[in-house]
Structure 1
Amino acid sequence: MSEFLVDADTLVNARFGTSQLTETVSALKLLRAPVEPWFRPWKDTHSAAFQAAVAASPISSALLESAFGRSWVADFLTVPPLEPDLTLEEELEYLTSLSDDHIRADLCVVRTPLPSILLSSSGLAAEAAGLLRWVWRTTVEPDWPRRLRVLQADVVSRTSRLSEQGWSGVLRGLGPDVRWLGDGRIQVNRWDYPATDVRGRDLMFIAAHTQRVNVSWRLPDHFALTYPVTGIFATTETPDEPLVQLLGRNRARILVEAAEPVSTTLLVATTGLSLATISDHLRVLTDAGLLERRRSGRSVLYWQSDTGRRVVRRPASNRPEPR
Structure 2
Amino acid sequence: MQIRLAPQPVWEVLTSAQLLAHHGLAAPFPYQSWARSALSAIGNGPARALLRWVASWPPGIIPQFLISDPRPDDLDLTDACRRIESWEPTGVRDRLHRQFPRGVPPAFGPFAADPARALQTFRRTLEDYCDVAIRPHWGTISETLVDELAHRSGTLATGGVDALLGSLHQRVGWNSPTLTLTAPGVAEGTRDPQRLLLVPLVFARDEPALLDPNTDTTVLGYPARGVANLAGGVNPSPRPGPDHVVQLLGRTRATLMRALSMPRTTTALATELRLAPSTISEHLSVLVSCRIAIRTRRANRVYYGLTDIGSTLLDMLMAG
For residues 51 and 18 of structure 1, the distance between their equivalents in structure 2, rounded to whole angstroms, comes to: 28
Unaligned runs of 5+ in 1: 1-6, 269-273, 305-323
Q: Which residue of 2 aligns with 1:253?
A: 255
Q: Which residue of 1 aligns with 2:314?
A: none
Offset of residue 133 of structure 1: 1.7
Q: 1:148 aligns with which of 142, 153, 158?
A: 142
Q: 2:14 aligns with which of 25, 37, 45?
A: 25
1:133 aligns with 2:127: yes
CA RMSD of aligned residues (A): 4.6
My pick for the range that moved more, 142-151 or 89-98, is: 89-98
Q: Structure 1 pair 276/126, CA: closer, same or farther in 2 (3 Å)?
A: farther
Q: For residue 82 of structure 1, give the secondary structure of its aligned residue in structure 2.
A: coil
For residues 295 and 115 of structure 2, the distance between their equivalents in structure 1, rounded to whole angstroms, comes to: 56
Offset of residue 214 of structure 1: 1.9
Would the aligned equivalents of 1:264 and 1:275 in 2 still touch at CA under 8 Å? yes
Would the aligned equivalents of 1:16 and 1:207 in 2 still touch at CA under 8 Å? no
Q: For residue 44 of structure 2, give the secondary structure of its aligned residue in structure 1.
A: helix
For residues 218 and 88 of structure 2, the distance between their equivalents in structure 1, rounded to whole angstroms, comes to: 22
Q: Which residue of 1 aligns with 2:304?
A: 302
The letter of the residue matching 2:302 is V
The letter of the residue matching 2:35 is K
For residues 117 and 17 of structure 1, the distance between their equivalents in structure 2, rounded to whole angstroms, comes to: 29
Offset of residue 221 of structure 1: 5.6
For residues 196 and 71 of structure 1, the distance between their equivalents in structure 2, rounded to whole angstroms, comes to: 23
Q: Which residue of 1 aligns with 2:104?
A: 112
For residues 118 and 46 of structure 2, the distance between their equivalents in structure 1, rounded to whole angstroms, comes to: 14
Offset of residue 81 of structure 1: 0.6
Q: Structure 1 pair 252/88, CA: closer, same or farther in 2 (3 Å)?
A: same
- Superimposed CA distance per residue, residues 251-304 of structure 1 (whole angstroms, 9 cap, x where no aligned partner): 8723x347x796327x99xxxxx78824985733356x3334955233413379
For residues 33 and 261 of structure 1, the distance between their equivalents in structure 2, rounded to whole angstroms, comes to: 25
My pick for the range that moved more, 188-197 or 146-155, is: 188-197
Unaligned runs of 5+ in 2: 229-233, 286-293, 307-320
The letter of the residue matching 2:181 is V
Q: Which residue of 2 aligns with 1:291?
A: 284
Would the aligned equivalents of 1:17 and 1:155 in 2 still touch at CA under 8 Å? yes
Offset of residue 87 of structure 1: 0.9
Instruction: With the length of structure 1 as denominator, give the TM-score of the two structures.
Output: 0.63
Instruction: With the length of structure 2 as denominator, give the TM-score of the two structures.
Output: 0.63
Offset of residue 121 of structure 1: 8.1
Would the aligned equivalents of 1:103 and 1:124 in 2 still touch at CA under 8 Å? no
Offset of residue 31 of structure 1: 2.3
For residues 47 and 196 of structure 2, the distance between their equivalents in structure 1, rounded to whole angstroms, comes to: 39
My pick for the range that moved more, 213-222 or 123-132, is: 213-222
Q: For this pair of structures, how many residues does the alignment match?
A: 274
Higher RCO structure, 1 or 2 (CA under 8 Å, sep 6+)? 1
Q: Which residue of 1 aligns with 2:177?
A: 184
Would the aligned equivalents of 1:155 and 1:207 in 2 still touch at CA under 8 Å? no
State the identity %: 18
1:198 aligns with 2:209: no
1:90 aligns with 2:85: no
For residues 210 and 194 of structure 1, the distance between their equivalents in structure 2, rounded to whole angstroms, comes to: 20
For residues 304 and 12 of structure 2, the distance between their equivalents in structure 1, rounded to whole angstroms, comes to: 27
Would the aligned equivalents of 1:213 and 1:227 in 2 still touch at CA under 8 Å? yes
Q: For residue 186 of structure 1, give the secondary structure of its aligned residue in structure 2.
A: strand
Q: For residue 28 of structure 1, give the secondary structure of its aligned residue in structure 2.
A: helix
For residues 172 and 77 of structure 1, the distance between their equivalents in structure 2, rounded to whole angstroms, comes to: 29
Offset of residue 47 of structure 1: 3.6
